[in-house]
Amino acid sequence: MYKTYYASPIGIIEIKGNEHAVRSILFSDRKDDEDLQIPALLQKCRDELDAYFKGSLKKFTFKMEPEGTKFQKSVWNALTKIPYGKTASYKEIAQMINNVKAVRAVGNANSKNPLAIAVPCHRIIGSNGNLTGYAGGLWRKEWLINHEKNTVNKRL
């Protein structure tokens, strides 16, 4: 497993993966030693993160292989269906995966998402419209939501 970092406007992001897929994208409080030579796929991830933060990328295209249960993967897949610049609730995700009683389980799966930003768990808000937990911190969640909304508004 290779490791590299991306210095984003909202902090350091650690990227792990191999030649075949990106396995995790997580916010990090510190930058450890990184591999000097990384597979092209991890560089593509860094390049796409750069384009995302510049406002020119709405959907990530690099291959991702997160580790998780079948249920978690179904939730993470549903998250990728939330349009850029939009938000959804845990309840709406539960409906998308045809399991309306799984709202809490959806929240739990959302909190375990290993591919921050690329699998947009930051787009999930409470049914009442309030921001809810985010592993990277609520301030980052708010920043990401505002970044996407501002980018969409600039293009209109």
Highest CATH level, class, for 70-155: mainly alpha
Measured distance CA(108)–CA(131) in Å, rounded: 15
With a pLDDT cut of 70, the percent of the chain lying above it is 99
This prediction's pTM: 0.92
52-95 pLDDT per residue, tens = 999 999 999 999 999 999 999 999 999 999 999 999 999 999 99
Q: Quick one: pLDDT at residue 156?
A: 52
* Pairing relationship of beta strands 22-28 and 88-89 according to DSSP bridges: unpaired
Q: Of 109, 121, 124, 144, which residue is the catalytic one?
A: 121
Domain-wise residue ranges, the chain: 2-54, 70-155
Measured distance CA(48)–CA(56) in Å, rounded: 9
Mean of the pLDDT values across residues 123-130? 92
Residues 6+ positions from 137 with CB-CB distance below 8 Å: 27
* Confidence band of 132 (pLDDT split at 50, 70, 90): confident
Q: Is 121 a catalytic residue?
A: yes
